[in-house]
Amino acid sequence: MIEWMRQEGAVVIIKFDGERTGTSDNGPYTFIVSGGRLADGHVRMDSDSVERGLAHIITGYFESIG
């Protein structure tokens, strides 16, 4: 799915933030997809799980483009 998104011109960014370690943080990972068929929009999520973050941006991308 991510490769399909890339082929459509989308940019996927996964940030691993070692400074986010507190319980009040939203998790050490940030996921963003923009461009492609989203045009000027984007889907973003901070997460404590790589799997949940990827699932969110992949699902969000395809729901946004209809």
Name the DSSP class of 9: T
Please tell me the pTM assigned to this model. 0.85
> Quick one: pLDDT band at residue 66, thresholds 50, 70, 90?
confident
Predicted local distance difference test score (pLDDT) of residue 45: 95
Q: 64: which 2 tokens?
A: 């946004």
- List, for residues 3-40, the tens digit of each pLDDT value: 999 999 999 999 998 888 777 778 899 999 999 999 88
Identify which of 42, 49, 51 has the alpha carbon closest to the alpha carbon of residue 26: 49
Given a contact cutoff of 8 angstroms between Cβ atoms, the answer to whether 33 and 55 are in contact is no
Residue 42 has pLDDT above 90, yes or no: yes
Range of the domain at 58: 2-19+26-65
Higher pLDDT, 31 or 65: 31
Q: 63: which 2 tokens?
A: 């729901």
Number of domains in the chain: 1
